[in-house]
Amino acid sequence: MLETTNLFFNRAADYLDLTEQHRDILRTPNRVVRVEIITESDDGGLHHHLGYRVQHSAARGPMKGGLRYHPSMDEDHAASLASLMTWKTAVANIPYGGAKGGINCDPSKLSESELYRITTTFVELIKEIIGPTRDIPAPDVNTNPQIMAWIMDAYSKFYGFSPGVVTGKPVDLFGSYGREEATGRGVMYVLEECLSDQGRKLADVTVAVQGFGNVGSNAARLLAERGSRFVAVSDITGGLYNEKGIDIPALLDWVREHRGVEGFPGADGVPGDDVLTCKADVLIPAALEEAVTVDNAKGVQAGIVVEAANSPLTAGAHDVLVGRGVTIIPDILANAGGVTVSYFEWSQNIQQFRWEEARVVEELEKIMRRAYRDVASLSASASLDMRTAAFALAVKRVVKAAALRRSVRQALPPALLG
Ligand code: NAD
C-alpha cells in the first residue's frame, strides 16, 4: 500500500522536477511509533495488541489523521495512510499536516468494556506525542464518536480539559454538527462538480457503492436525496442489485436493524464484488483499500470512479481505468470532507464556540468545490490525470511551507517557490 502511495507521489515529483533528496525527505515520516497494548479481557484473561501512530509531516500545521481498528493494521498501512493525510489536508488547503494510526485488533470480537480498556491504554502510551497543537486523531474504519469521547477523556485526565485533542466526538461532547456525514457530503460535492463539467447532474446518473458504513451510507443518502439512482450496494455481509434503483432510506433502516445489507428485500442478493463491475455511471468504492485491482479493473463499467475510501485502487487498476478514459476523483480530494469538518470541530473546540449546522455545511461546500476546481484546472492545464494533479498541487503546497520554515530550501526548482 505504501508503495502505491509513493508511486503516485513520485509521478507528481517528476512533474515538479524534485531532486531525489527532496523526494526522500517528503516521503519519509517524521516519526513512527509502535506500542504494545496489554489489557484485561472480560473473562479475566489478557489481551495483547499492537498500536501504531505514524506522523508523516507537520510542515503545514499540527498533524491530523484517523485511527483504524482492524486486523490488517500495521506500520505499512499507517505510514501509507499518514502520507495520504499530508497530501489530503494540502489539497483541501486546511492548516494541518498528516498522521494516521490504529490498533491491530478485530473490534467485532471485543466487548464495549474491552474496547474501552484497549483505547484508553493506547492513549496512555501515545499521550506525549498527540495533543491539540501536535497531532489530533479522528475516526476511521471501526472507530466512532464514542471511541473519540473515550480518547478525549483519557487524554484530559493527564493534561486537563482538552476537547481539541481529538475530532469526530459526539455532538453532546464537543463534537461538531455535520461531522458524521461530512465525508459522504464531500463526496457528493466533488461528484456534482465533475458531472457539471460533463453537462450532467446528480439526478442523471446511476451509482454503485461498495461499503455502507459511515462514508458509503452517508454519500448514498445524500446523493439519493438529490435524485441519483443507486443500482448496487455492498458491505461486508454481501451485495445488492436492483436495476430500477434501491430505496436508500429503507436500506438504511434495514442496516440499522440487521447490521448489514444482506437479506434486504428491495433488491436481489449478489456477490459483494459484483458491485464493482456492475452497469452504473458512477462507482463509489467506500470500503477498504485495493478493492479494484488490475484483474477486476477490466470489468469496471462506470465512467466515473469517486474514491470515497482511501487507496481503493491499486496503481495498476488506476492506470488501466485512466487508459480507458475513466475519470477518477482521487481519495486525497474525494474524501477530504471528513478532515475538513474535523478542522471545523477543532477550531470550535479551541475557541469554545459552537457553529450552527448550516455554517458547517456552507463552509464545507466552499472548501470541497474549491479543492475540486484547483485540481481540475491543474489537470486540464498540465494534461495530468486527476490523481497526479491532486498530488502535484499538494506536494507543491507542502514544499512551499517547508521551504518557508527553511526545513527544505536548498536546490528547489525556483518555480516551486514562486
Ligand atoms: P466504516 O467502518 O464505517 O465502514 C466500512 C464499510 O465497508 C462497512 O460497511 C463494511 O461492511 C464495508 N466493507 C468492509 N469490507 C468490505 C468488503 N470486502 N466488501 C464490501 N464492503 C466491505 O468505515 P468508514 O469510516 O466508512 O471508512 C470507509 C473508508 O473511507 C476507509 O477507507 C476510510 O479510510 C475512508 N475514510 C473515512 C473517513 C471518515 O470520516 N470516516 C474519512 C476519509 C476517508
How much is the CA Rg of the chain, to the nearest whole Å? 21
pLDDT at residue number 417: 67
The x, y and z cell numbers of residue 332, run together, are 486525497
Q: How far apart are the C-alpha atoms of 30 and 80, rounded to whole Å?
A: 13
pLDDT at residue number 53: 98
Distance from the CA of 216 to the center of ligand 1, in angstroms?
7
Distance from the CA of 163 to the center of ligand 1, in angstroms?
25
Atom of ligand 1 nearest to the CA of 287: 7
Atom of ligand 1 nearest to the CA of 142: 2
Please classify residue 47 by burial: count the beta carbons closer than 10 Å to its beta carbon, then call 0-12 exposed, 13-18 middle and 19+ buried. Answer: middle
Distance from the CA of 236 to the center of ligand 1, in angstroms?
10
Q: How far apart are the C-alpha atoms of 233 and 228, rounded to whole Å?
A: 13
Distance from the CA of 235 to the center of ligand 1, in angstroms?
9
Q: How far apart are the C-alpha atoms of 297 and 293, rounded to whole Å?
A: 6
The set of protein residues with a Cβ atom below 6 angstroms from ligand 1 is: 139-142, 183, 210-216, 234-236, 272, 286-288, 308-310, 335, 338
pLDDT at residue number 405: 87
Ligand 1: residue whose CA is nearest its atom 23: 141
Amino acid identity, position 200:
R
Ligand 1: residue whose CA is nearest its atom 36: 309
Atom of ligand 1 nearest to the CA of 168: 40
pLDDT tens by residue, the chain, 418 residues: 888 999 999 999 999 999 999 999 999 999 999 999 999 999 999 999 999 999 999 999 999 999 999 999 999 999 999 999 999 999 999 999 999 999 999 999 999 999 999 999 999 999 999 999 999 999 999 999 999 999 999 999 999 999 999 999 999 999 999 999 999 999 999 999 999 999 999 999 999 999 999 999 999 999 999 999 999 999 999 999 999 999 999 999 999 999 999 999 999 999 999 999 999 999 999 999 999 999 999 999 999 999 999 999 999 999 999 999 999 999 999 999 999 999 999 999 999 999 999 999 999 999 999 999 999 999 999 999 999 999 999 999 999 999 998 877 776 776 676 6
Distance from the CA of 211 to the center of ligand 1, in angstroms?
6
Instruction: State if pTM tops 0.85.
Output: yes
Q: Domain 182-334: state its class.
A: alpha beta
Amino acid identity, position 401:
A
Atom of ligand 1 nearest to the CA of 311: 32
Domain ranges of the chain: 30-163, 182-334
Q: How far apart are the C-alpha atoms of 285 and 208, rounded to whole Å?
A: 8
pLDDT at residue number 415: 67
Pocket test for ligand 1, best of 103, 140, 251, 270 (most atoms within 8 A of CB): 140
Q: How far apart are the C-alpha atoms of 23 and 418, rounded to whole Å?
A: 19
pLDDT at residue number 388: 98
Active site residue 100: yes
Q: Domain 30-163: state its class.
A: alpha beta
Q: How far apart are the C-alpha atoms of 281 and 224, rounded to whole Å?
A: 14
User: 64, 88, 100, 396: which one is catalytic?
Assistant: 100
H or E element at residue 65: strand 63-69
From the list 171, 179, 165, 169, the residue with the least C-alpha distance to 350 is 165
